[in-house]
Structure 1
Amino acid sequence: MALWSGRFEEDAAPVTRAFGASLPVDKALYKQDIAGSRAHAKMLAAQGIIPEEDAEAICAGLDAIEADIDAGSFVFDIADEDIHMAIEAELTRRIGPAGGRLHTGRSRNDQVATDTRLAAKALAKRLMEANLGLRRTLLDAAEAAGDTILPGMTHLQHAQPVLLAHHLLAYAWMLTRDFTRLAAAFDAADASPLGAAALAGTSYPLDRHMTAGLLGFSRVIENSLDAVSDRDFLLDLEYACSVMAVHLSRLAEEIVLWSSQEFGFITLSDAYSTGSSIMPQKKNPDFAELIRGKCGRVVGDLVQLLMTCKGLPLAYNKDMQEDKEGALDAARTLEQCLAVMTGMVGTWTVNADRMRAVMHRGHLAATDVADYLAKRGMPFREAHAVVGHLVLEAEKAGCDISELPFEVFHEASELFGEDIAGALDLDAIVAARTTEGGTAPSAVKEQFKRARARYLVDENAVRLLSPVVEMGSAAEW
């Protein structure tokens, strides 16, 4: 019979028992659940609510159960419905009546909220560490790129030349913002709901601050209704995951393009490529494609939780059982994507000569030619039209604007002098972009210093996070 059997004359139907069970998902939170129970038992004893010897027996029993789950020898029974009852039932079997006192002053509502917040903190921390790993690899790749230039693009068309380092740093800054979102999700989860009981608090003299401290929470949640019904912290975590997955998908798309024969900008390591079962010449960027594909999965997890939370009255509703699977899936998927992307970027070969070879396509110097005229007094819109005509002439001649004879330039405008050659030099064009955040080597050097400094700040921030209960290795998550 279920734990509420006193009220019911008939047991649950087998189909509803299986349908309502969350154990297949929430057993991944066994370490969080055991940690919460230990803290609750110690607090109950400290407050004189249960005998000290019962608390000691409870903690010893929980330690043994955790060791069994860690070792893979614990047998989960779907009849227990969830991880909370699986552990409590086994605890009572092992230590007797003392196990039945563990739930004094506690509801599964605040218990599951506590477990979930502990797990969210652990997941956010893992993702922050993985984020730092990819950022470090991107920064190293940017540093190694030196003064290598490639065609910067808009609309996937050649636009203006940029440093490869500048391009890679753009992704490092995206990941820096992602780190900030993860840190915010960690902070949102870092509040203890334990002691809120079902929804209204309890008449037992619980010390909520004691349990919060034992579990590494920085604060307690002020409102008992909010404590058991809030899942904003999971939305924050899944949103952070979704945005980072989108950023990884964008980088993956560029890897797919850059490693193609048409681009040839990079060569992927064999360890991060696959072949074809029928075409022996193929070397496919499958893992970049898979990262791009998994983005939809992570975003879908966020949408699922948003729809689950929509329209729920206070306080707890069974719908909330659907909160954990998506969060676990999003975090697991993203952590794998970050690991694979880190490996790909860290082992690729940059084909700088190929990047240089395609620079004389797409009239990359056109904007600087227009600026040349504008700096000599011609209104920029008029200069834009003049250079547009030169591009048309180059297209008709089948060459790049930089390859047009000087006579063609002078015929288009008498403002052109022999020094126009400087405005056509791609390295000079790059070097001229010295504004803060620009692509000139001097500007990128300063940007790189700031990116490294911010990385070190974030690396230290992870070390200063409040304590977490790490995810257990024995339960799939």
Structure 2
Amino acid sequence: MTLYRGRVNGEYGGLMNAINRSLPVDIRLLPYDVLTNRAWAAELQRLGVLTADEFTALAAALNRILVMYQEGAFADLPADEDVHTLVERLLTEQLGPTGAKIHTGRSRNDQVVTDVRLMAVDCLTELLNELRELIALTAHLATTHAETLFAGTTHLQPAQPITLGFYFLSLAFALRRDHERLADARTRTDRCPLGSGALAGSAFAVDRAALAEALGFAGVSPNALDAISDRDFVQEIAGAIAILGSHLSRYAEQFVLWAQPDFGFIRFADDWSTGSSMMPQKRNPDAMELVRAKAARCLGNTVTLLTLTKGLAPSYSKDLQEDKAALFDSLDTALLTVQVFRQALQTAIFNEDRLRGSLTFDLLATEIADALTRAGLPFRQAHERVGEFFRRLDAENRTASSLTDTEWHATFPELPDSSVARDFAAAVERRQVLGGAAPAEVRRQCRELQRWLEDFKKSSPIGRE
């Protein structure tokens, strides 16, 4: 049902109601719609549209509607078209003509985008808090495993020795970028469009700055037409979440592989594993598999939102009603996946013996080439000689560790001994360049992350006053 009559009588048939009605999606905006209505009512009182008694009655009725929502009164949804008409209907039923004044000088166009922005800011606040917890965990794991050696890969093939701590830092810094993107998106979301009307601004002289302050916004949207048609903030949030989901999916995939018995690097707690309906021995890392899958969902939502406004004429069109389902799903999915990823990782056990067991002497091929280069051989020639050396070992079904000292000196007379091809820890230790894998540098990167987290705590908190 709808509250208004005009050129169209407002009574929709079944199919039109089915496609037009958004209450099943936007009912979760009700607490924010209450806030928006309360702030708007205060401005209407200041302008003399409402008396002091009428404002008091509206404020009390809005509080009752909020309590109804919190107590589950709308679990079975009423027939209203959307959350805004639901609230206005209840106000009118409770207060009569006083309730019917609430929409004076206002459009649902600016009302809905105000509600969505309020909710998005709060959801981003919660997500950012959870993301910092995950970054702190990865920094802790990096410190703990700064010297835990294992085989780093490229192309999923053994490449060079690194440490588990170094690996976790790669995740931590990716997540920090995600945090920066989401915080930036939050800043641009935190602008109040209320008072923009249908498209040209309200004809009633509401104080938009006062409305923004009352609602806790950091500022006011500068142009009414842009304010009611802008969904950049929705797309930006969804895009940042899609990148976050992609990051988590990549590491989730790695952990799924590592949980295989062939690797045995990680074991997830029972709380984050599942069994099989048929095979009693199975232990599946389903939490990480689902984190991996949720990334596709967030990417799909981003594509939906970007496509939604492509070619859409500036101003409000009903197409924009479709933004909320995708945005809400991305926000909910991001929060869930970050929480699951952190808690599953927090209780996981890493098998350091199996990790070290992944080290093979071919991982030190670059060390041999570098040693030859330091002895005066051009790197490209050193690279070719070492490559030929390992090709010959493959043909003979041997490993570098099987070489005698005599064979080693005959192959690489420029090198004093074969230690460069046997010491994995020394190979990692040599990576002391800024951002490198050396344990000391890993610890320095951990301190950098810790300072960032501490500085964030000292700065103004993210969140609504």
Question: What TM-score, normalized to structure 2?
Answer: 0.97
Alpha-carbon separation, structure 1, partners of 2:233 and 2:174: 22
Alpha-carbon separation, structure 1, partners of 2:427 and 2:143: 21
Quote the residue 2:384 is aligned against.
385
> Which one of the candidate residues 450, 453, 459 is aligned to 2:451?
453
Alpha-carbon separation, structure 1, partners of 2:401 and 2:180: 44
- Alignment partner of 1:79: what SS? coil
Partners of 1:256 and 1:285 within 8 A in 2? yes
- Alignment partner of 1:7: what SS? coil
Residue 417 (1) aligns with residue 408 (2): no
Quote the residue 1:176 is aligned against.
176
Q: Which amino acid aligns with 1:410?
A: H
- Alignment partner of 1:168: what SS? helix
Partners of 1:218 and 1:466 within 8 A in 2? no
Q: Which amino acid aligns with 1:14?
A: G
Give CA-to-partner distance per residue, 1:259-284, whole Å, 9 cap, x none: 11111111111111111222222111
Bigger relative contact order (CA 8 A; separation at least 6): 1
Residue 360 (1) aligns with residue 357 (2): no
% identity of equivalent residues? 38
Aligned residues: 465
| Unmatched segments (≥5 aa) in structure 1 | 469-477
Partners of 1:132 and 1:459 within 8 A in 2? no
Partners of 1:301 and 1:327 within 8 A in 2? yes
- Alignment partner of 2:151: what SS? strand
Quote the residue 2:300 is aligned against.
300
User: Deviation at 1:466?
Assistant: 5.0
Residue 7 (1) aligns with residue 7 (2): yes
The structure-2 alpha-carbon separation of the partners of 1:42 and 1:380, relative to structure 1 and needing over 3 Å to count, comes to: same
- Alignment partner of 2:363: what SS? coil
- Alignment partner of 1:11: what SS? coil
Quote the residue 1:467 is aligned against.
464
User: Deviation at 1:455?
Assistant: 2.1
Give CA-to-partner distance per residue, 1:382-438, whole Å, 9 cap, x none: 0001111111122233343244223333223321222x3145310111111111111
Quote the residue 1:196 is aligned against.
196
User: Deviation at 1:29?
Assistant: 0.8
Give CA-to-partner distance per residue, 1:38-85, whole Å, 9 cap, x none: 111112112333212211111110000000110112476553100000
Quote the residue 1:397 is aligned against.
396
Quote the residue 1:471 is aligned against.
none
Alpha-carbon separation, structure 1, partners of 2:38 and 2:399: 73
Question: What TM-score, normalized to structure 1?
Answer: 0.94
Worse-matched range after superposition: 409-418 or 189-198 = 409-418
- Alignment partner of 1:5: what SS? coil
Quote the residue 1:473 is aligned against.
none
Alpha-carbon separation, structure 2, partners of 1:387 and 1:153: 19
Alpha-carbon separation, structure 2, partners of 1:372 and 1:466: 54
Quote the residue 2:56 is aligned against.
56
Give CA-to-partner distance per residue, 1:350-398, whole Å, 9 cap, x none: 110111112026x110001000000011000000011111111222333
Q: Which amino acid aligns with 1:448?
A: C
Q: CA RMSD in A?
A: 1.6
Alpha-carbon separation, structure 2, partners of 1:297 and 1:396: 47
Residue 45 (1) aligns with residue 45 (2): yes
Paired residues for 1:22-101 under 5 Å: 22-74=22-74, 77-101=77-101
| Unmatched segments (≥5 aa) in structure 2 | none
Quote the residue 1:372 is aligned against.
371
Worse-matched range after superposition: 42-51 or 109-118 = 42-51
- Alignment partner of 1:151: what SS? strand
Alpha-carbon separation, structure 1, partners of 2:428 and 2:95: 73
Quote the residue 1:208 is aligned against.
208
Alpha-carbon separation, structure 1, partners of 2:372 and 2:74: 78
Q: Which amino acid aligns with 1:376?
A: A
Alpha-carbon separation, structure 2, partners of 1:61 and 1:208: 24
Alpha-carbon separation, structure 2, partners of 1:153 and 1:399: 22
Alpha-carbon separation, structure 2, partners of 1:455 and 1:394: 49
- Alignment partner of 1:283: what SS? coil
